[in-house]
């Protein structure tokens, strides 16, 4: 019990942490995008040329642009090693854990303005090369466009380049806010602006250099992304990626050399479903994620945990969901229901080693985590963020988001990530409060591509051995493919996912009475003294060949947030189901021969309204959704042709 009390206390402390929150960003797409890409390409070529000529030696990864723009070279690595300091952009990079010079203590690192560094060049007479001039001109056009769009409010003469590359600058607004308020946490300015103020380029009269501070650096890059620079996506669940345009609303707090991050979601739900198999219930789905990242050696170490109270907030070991199947409750396969998540949804560690500006090695693993198999899991997809219940194709697409003893290695180069995982294939048992034992016996690989900040796609395949407790000898081959699109809006966003998942339950030989399963005491009132023994697929007296079964699923879902207050979403699913849908949950179904039987459909539409915040770190909303289920003719006698389902809910979200 002391362990659980400690975890609860840690969660409570994380919940009250406040995040650094700079000025509000204009999320509407900018007309400067073409010039932004051109400036990036031109600067990359220019820095490569400078490096080849021995005139570009930076001290952070990714390397700075500031020195190249101002004086056509970079000596930050030598200046840092000599104790003179780094330019403003590099200085900010060091504080974010991106420094590359060994033996440097960031606590004693100085800021050495880029213009002053020009005096340390071996050839101070060198002029900007044509490539840099072209990049500077392209970036100047970007700044003019951003100013016209009212999204560039800088505080130094000429405007900072760092914020221009992000198509948004609030440094002037943030600095004015910091000076006017008497106390509280400063928002600060970017590294480029801090460098400019130290070089005497500040725009605001009456502000001393000591009043200008660096904005707390965002640690999401190394802990929440695969290390491909701005070409890669964000981690969603495990190491699955969403587009970079997806908002990252983690609460972030520095603690010494560590960066702490936290968020969480809780739905309080009432559901009711019609038809002969429909049921109603009140329950809560929820999850809480905490992370701590720290620069260690050549890379970044991140400790990751995700917890859920669903073992307590979902009674009866499942909640009603027509056509959903997977795992067991009281020793019996769950039919028309969804199991709760385990208390430990994730308990792992990741380590990222950058090799250059756009290439990184990633290692991930732990006793509980998500292997490289499937799309981002439904609780963590932006396109499903407001839907309080599971998808009916969960066990054909993303059910391995909670797996035991996971080990993953991946390499990212720009927009491409290739990963391979080993993990224990058995699905979680009914003891939802603990961790499941078992060695690595299953394997998967995944290719992820993020061609732009708004798009991501993945294809993955894995062999899952001994997946089901009711069929412990049966192996499965799972294949998935998905595409996700995220479009920022002026006052919200629009996220869409298309997903295909396929289980090929491979042919195998069923052995007589092997392996016997442990006794499960029933707590059902109707069978108070019945001992339920889980058996394999069916009882056989001689070794029996069981043929393969193939199940496909297709999902399309989309969620829109507009005016920062209104959510609208929809989901369409088609999924192949087995013959267990013909039966009620009862011990005798353990003896049923499961075959691919019918393709079912579900169509959902929902709306939610954001409520005023009572606390700065807590969002709340109320909403509801309705689902039309379509049963094929061979299931109509059991379910009716068109059963319906509704969910009414309140939602709490810990977020910045």
Q: How does DSSP assign 485-503, residue by residue?
A: EEEEETTEEEEEEEEEEEE
What does the alpha-carbon distance between residue 491 and residue 566 come to, in Å, rounded to a whole number?
10
What does the alpha-carbon distance between residue 630 and residue 640 come to, in Å, rounded to a whole number?
9
What does the alpha-carbon distance between residue 249 and residue 437 come to, in Å, rounded to a whole number?
34
- DSSP-assigned states of every residue in 139-195: HHHHHHHHHHTT-B--SBTT--HHHHHTT-B-HHHHHHHHHH-SSS----B-HHHHH
Which pLDDT tens digit goes with each residue over 444-466? 999 999 998 899 999 999 999 99
Which pLDDT tens digit goes with each residue over 144-201? 999 998 889 899 988 898 888 888 888 888 888 776 665 555 678 888 999 999 888 8
Most confident of 55-59, 243-247, 421-425, 514-518: 421-425
What does the alpha-carbon distance between residue 188 and residue 173 come to, in Å, rounded to a whole number?
10
Mean pLDDT of 525-540: 46
Mean pLDDT of 120-133: 64
What does the alpha-carbon distance between residue 92 and residue 49 come to, in Å, rounded to a whole number?
25
Residue ranges, CATH 2.40.160, the chain? 221-402+416-424+441-654
User: What pLDDT is stored for residue 513 in this prediction?
Assistant: 63
- pLDDT category of residue 361 using cuts at 50, 70 and 90: very high
Residue 532 pLDDT exceeds 80: no
Average pLDDT over the chain, rounded to whole? 85
Which H or E run contains 620?
strand 618-630
Residue that wins the pLDDT comparison between 25 and 634: 634
- pLDDT category of residue 385 using cuts at 50, 70 and 90: very high
User: What pLDDT is stored for residue 381 in this prediction?
Assistant: 94
- pLDDT category of residue 529 using cuts at 50, 70 and 90: very low
What does the alpha-carbon distance between residue 227 and residue 295 come to, in Å, rounded to a whole number?
14
- pLDDT category of residue 28 using cuts at 50, 70 and 90: low
User: What pLDDT is stored for residue 536 in this prediction?
Assistant: 44
Return the structure tokens found at 386. Answer: 């407001």
Residue 285 pLDDT exceeds 90: yes
* Lowest mean per-residue pLDDT among 6-10, 32-36, 301-305, 521-525: 6-10
User: What pLDDT is stored for residue 520 in this prediction?
Assistant: 45
User: What pLDDT is stored for residue 519 in this prediction?
Assistant: 44
Spell 523-541 as b/e; 16+ CB within 10 A means b: ebeeeeeeebebbbbeeee
What does the alpha-carbon distance between residue 142 and residue 163 come to, in Å, rounded to a whole number?
11
- Into which CATH architecture does domain 221-402+416-424+441-654 fall? Beta Barrel (2.40)
User: What pLDDT is stored for residue 229 in this prediction?
Assistant: 65
pLDDT-above-70 percentage for the chain = 86
Which pLDDT tens digit goes with each residue over 387-445? 999 999 999 999 999 999 999 999 999 899 999 999 999 999 999 999 998 999 999 99
User: What pLDDT is stored for residue 185 in this prediction?
Assistant: 55
Which pLDDT tens digit goes with each residue over 203-245? 887 788 888 888 765 445 566 778 766 667 888 888 999 998 8
User: What pLDDT is stored for residue 117 in this prediction?
Assistant: 78
Mean pLDDT of 342-370: 92
> Between vectors from CA 393 to CA 392 and to CA 398, what angle results, nearest 5°?
125
The reported pTM is 0.74
* Lowest mean per-residue pLDDT among 21-25, 208-212, 265-269: 21-25
Residue 4 pLDDT exceeds 60: no
Give CB contacts under 8 A, 24+ apart, made by 619-624.
619/651, 619/652, 619/653, 619/655, 620/650, 620/651, 620/652, 620/653, 621/386, 621/567, 621/650, 621/651, 621/653, 622/649, 622/650, 622/651, 623/386, 623/567, 623/648, 623/649, 623/651, 624/648, 624/649
User: What pLDDT is stored for residue 207 in this prediction?
Assistant: 84
- DSSP-assigned states of every residue in 621-643: EEEEEEEEEE--GGGHHHH-SS-
* Lowest mean per-residue pLDDT among 1-10, 60-69, 416-425, 541-550: 1-10
Residue 345 pLDDT exceeds 90: yes
Strand 359-369, strand 344-356: pairing: antiparallel
User: What pLDDT is stored for residue 646 in this prediction?
Assistant: 97
- DSSP class of residue 539 equals -
What does the alpha-carbon distance between residue 14 and residue 16 come to, in Å, rounded to a whole number?
6
Mean pLDDT of 272-291: 95
Residue that wins the pLDDT comparison between 420 and 124: 420
Residue 553 pLDDT exceeds 80: yes
For tokens 């990049």, the residue is 135
The angle that helices 130-148 and 33-52 make with each other, rounded to 10 degrees, is 160
For tokens 């391979």, the residue is 420
What is the sign of the dihedral through the CA atoms of 396, 401, 406 and 410?
Answer: positive
For tokens 């700065």, the residue is 616
Residue among 403, 487, 509, 358 nearest 44 (CA): 358
């Amino acid at each position: 019990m002391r362990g659980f009390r400690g975890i609860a206390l840690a969660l409570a402390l994380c919940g009250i942490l406040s995040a650094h929150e700079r000025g509000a960003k204009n999320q509407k797409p900018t007309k400067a995008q073409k010039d932004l890409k051109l400036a990036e390409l031109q600067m990359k070529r220019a820095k490569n040329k400078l490096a080849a000529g021995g005139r570009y030696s930076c001290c952070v990864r990714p390397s700075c642009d500031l020195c190249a723009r101002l004086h056509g070279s970079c000596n930050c690595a030598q200046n840092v090693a000599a104790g003179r300091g780094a330019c403003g952009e590099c200085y900010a990079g060091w504080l974010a854990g991106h420094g590359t010079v060994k033996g440097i203590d960031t606590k004693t690192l100085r800021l050495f303005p880029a213009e002053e560094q020009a005096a340390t060049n071996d050839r101070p007479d060198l002029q900007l090369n044509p490539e840099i001039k072209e990049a500077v001109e392209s970036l100047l056009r970007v700044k003019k466009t951003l100013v016209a769009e009212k999204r560039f409010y800088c505080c130094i003469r000429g405007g900072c380049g760092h914020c221009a590359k992000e198509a948004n600058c609030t440094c002037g607004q943030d600095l004015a806010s910091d000076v006017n308020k008497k106390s509280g946490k400063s928002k600060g300015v970017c590294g480029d602006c801090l460098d400019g103020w130290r070089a005497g380029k500040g725009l605001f009269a009456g502000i001393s250099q000591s009043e200008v501070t660096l904005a707390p650096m965002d640690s999401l890059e190394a802990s929440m992304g695969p290390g491909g620079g701005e070409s890669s996506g964000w981690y969603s669940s495990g190491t699955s990626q969403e587009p970079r345009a997806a908002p990252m609303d983690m609460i972030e707090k520095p603690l010494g050399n560590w960066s702490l991050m936290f968020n969480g979601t809780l739905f309080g739900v009432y559901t009711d479903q019609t038809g002969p198999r429909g049921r109603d219930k009140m329950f809560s789905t929820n999850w809480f994620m905490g992370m701590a990242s720290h620069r260690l050696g050549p890379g970044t170490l991140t400790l990751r945990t995700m917890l859920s109270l669903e073992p307590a907030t979902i009674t009866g070991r499942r909640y009603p969901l027509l056509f959903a199947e997977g795992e067991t409750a009281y020793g019996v396969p769950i039919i028309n229901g969804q199991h709760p998540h385990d208390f430990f949804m994730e308990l792992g560690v990741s380590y990222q080693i950058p090799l250059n500006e756009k290439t990184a090695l990633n290692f991930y693993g732990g006793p509980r985590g998500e292997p490289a198999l499937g799309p981002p899991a439904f609780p963590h997809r932006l396109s499903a963020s407001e839907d309080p219940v599971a998808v009916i194709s969960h066990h054909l697409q993303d059910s391995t988001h909670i797996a035991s003893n996971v080990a993953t290695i991946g390499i990212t180069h720009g927009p491409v990530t290739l990963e391979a995982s080993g993990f224990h294939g058995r699905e979680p048992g009914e003891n939802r409060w603990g961790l499941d034992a078992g060695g690595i016996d299953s394997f998967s690989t995944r290719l992820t591509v993020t061609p732009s900040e708004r798009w991501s796609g993945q294809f993955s395949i894995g062999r899952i051995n001994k997946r089901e407790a009711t069929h412990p000898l049966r192996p499965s081959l799972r294949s998935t493919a998905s595409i996700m699109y995220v479009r920022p809006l002026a006052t919200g966003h629009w996220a869409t996912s298309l997903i295909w998942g396929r289980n090929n339950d491979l042919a195998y030989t069923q052995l007589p009475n092997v392996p016997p399963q442990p006794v499960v005491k029933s707590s059902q009132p109707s069978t108070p003294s019945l001992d339920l023994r889980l058996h394999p697929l069916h009882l056989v007296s001689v070794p029996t060949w069981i043929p393969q079964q193939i199940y496909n699923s297709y999902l399309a879902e989309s969620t829109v947030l507009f005016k920062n207050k209104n959510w609208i979403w929809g989901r369409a699913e088609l999924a192949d189901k087995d013959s267990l849908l013909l039966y009620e949950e009862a011990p005798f179904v353990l003896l049923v021969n499961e075959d691919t039987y019918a393709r079912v459909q579900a169509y959902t539409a929902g709306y939610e309204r954001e409520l005023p915040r009572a606390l700065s770190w807590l969002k709340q909303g109320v909403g509801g959704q309705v689902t039309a289920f379509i049963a094929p003719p061979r299931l109509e006698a059991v379910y009716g042709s068109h059963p319906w389902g509704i969910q009414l809910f309140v939602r709490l979200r810990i977020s910045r």
